[in-house]
Amino acid sequence: MEPRTNINLRHIRAFVSVAELGSFTRAANALSISQSALTVSVRQLEDDVGLTLFHRTTRRVTLTEAGVEFFPTARRLLRDFHAAIADMQAMVHLRRGRVGVAALPSVSAEWLPAIVAQFSRDYPGINVEVISENSHGIHRRVASKEIDFGIVGQILPDADISHQKVVSQPVALVCPPDHPLAGKPDPVCWADLKGSVFIHAGNDDCIRAVLEKVPSLSDTLLETRYRANKADIVAAMVREGIGVTAVTPVILPRDIRRQLVVRALRKPDMARTIYLIRRRGRVLSPAAELFMKQALAAIRGTPHAEQNDSLPPAASIA
């Protein structure tokens, strides 16, 4: 059980000042208080601990044995207190801090590097950690408070997690440059994919929604021999001429994407929506709050990022 005490920083500050300056008069002047007030503070400290801390004479003030033993601890307490206050002020003014964010691989690779780069230029004292993860892993990290917030393509039922829409991006046709659909005038319709070899990218919700509108595509979209659950594998298969796919282009690695043809895909229009999630009721640090706002603004400002909630969703590759 901790001992009860009425000692506070005022008493510690008074003791340290007298000990350092060796004079009640000089210490009172340094603290901008009256000498009587200083004397009362020191006396209250001594009464509370039950020890005399100073030898007092008309000419000088010196520490007793108890005062000598207490002095380094008291000075360290003051130093640690001021350092802690300075650290909190530095966090408020964004001179130091930490941000932890987890995002889908496509978001981590396509958007976050530029956002982090600008943030680090503006706030060089802030440490930023970016984790690339699938939606389930991101939910787990947010729930455990391992990260400040996450960007996902799938919302999982969890009363402790809040979410908000970030953007919706259109699903497009991705094909090799020599594919017949590569040179077809815009727009390419889903019905135009009939007869093409289709590489399934794991976006089952999207395919089901398309088949409700274009049932004649069932052979092409459902009976495909090729399926992959990673964007880089899908892109590489398209590059090798195995077939075509339908995804949001942003999920494809940039180096491979440049070698492919991306065409707008219509009738029906499909979109992939991503969401920001955070633990409900958790107060973010000033740095994390600002980074989150800047990330939202940057992603929403991306070309082809749509705010149209009427577009049917397409599951993302995670």
Whole-prediction pTM? 0.72
List the chain pLDDT tens, one digit each, 318 residues: 566 788 999 999 999 999 999 999 999 999 999 999 999 999 999 999 999 999 988 778 999 999 999 999 999 999 999 988 888 888 788 888 999 999 998 888 889 999 999 999 999 999 999 999 888 999 999 999 999 999 998 888 888 999 999 998 888 899 999 999 998 887 888 888 888 888 888 766 677 777 777 777 777 777 778 888 888 888 999 999 999 988 888 888 888 888 999 988 888 888 888 899 999 999 999 999 999 999 999 998 865 444 443 334 444 444
Query: What is the residue whose two structure tokens read 């039922």?
Result: 157
Q: Is 272 within 8 Å of 135 (Cβ atoms)?
A: no
Residue 276 is which amino acid? Answer: L
Question: Cis before residue 187, ω within 30 degrees of 0?
Answer: yes
In this structure, what DSSP letter does residue 2 have? P
Q: What does the CA dihedral 307, 312, 317, 318 come to, rounded to 10 degrees? A: 60
Query: What is the residue whose two structure tokens read 């399934």?
Result: 200
Q: Is 64 within 8 Å of 54 (Cβ atoms)?
A: yes
pLDDT of residue 186: 77
The bridge status of strand 97-103 relative to strand 61-63 is unpaired
3-state secondary structure 84-136: HHHHHHHHHCCCCEEEEEEECHHHHHHCHHHHHHHHHHHCCCEEEEEEECCHH
Q: How far apart are CA 91 and CA 95, in angstroms?
A: 6
pLDDT of residue 231: 83
Instruction: Determine the straight-line distance between the first and last CA of the chain, rounded to whole angstroms.
Output: 52
DSSP string, 222-285: HS-SEE-SSHHHHHHHHHTTS-BEEE-GGGS-HHHHTTSEEEEEESS--EEEEEEEEETTPPPP
pLDDT of residue 315: 42
pLDDT of residue 316: 41
Q: How far apart are CA 144 and CA 189, in angstroms?
A: 44
Q: Is 97 within 8 Å of 80 (Cβ atoms)?
A: no
pLDDT of residue 15: 95
Q: How far apart are CA 168 and CA 275, in angstroms?
A: 9
Helix axes 9-21, 65-92, angle to 10 degrees: 120
The bridge status of strand 161-170 relative to strand 271-279 is antiparallel
Residue 253 is which amino acid? Answer: P
- Residues contacting 310, CB < 8 A, separation 6+: none
* Pair of tokens at residue 210: 């398309």
What the chain holds in terms of domains, given with CATH numbers, is: 9-92 (1.10.10.10), 97-165+280-298 (3.40.190.10), 172-269 (3.40.190.10)
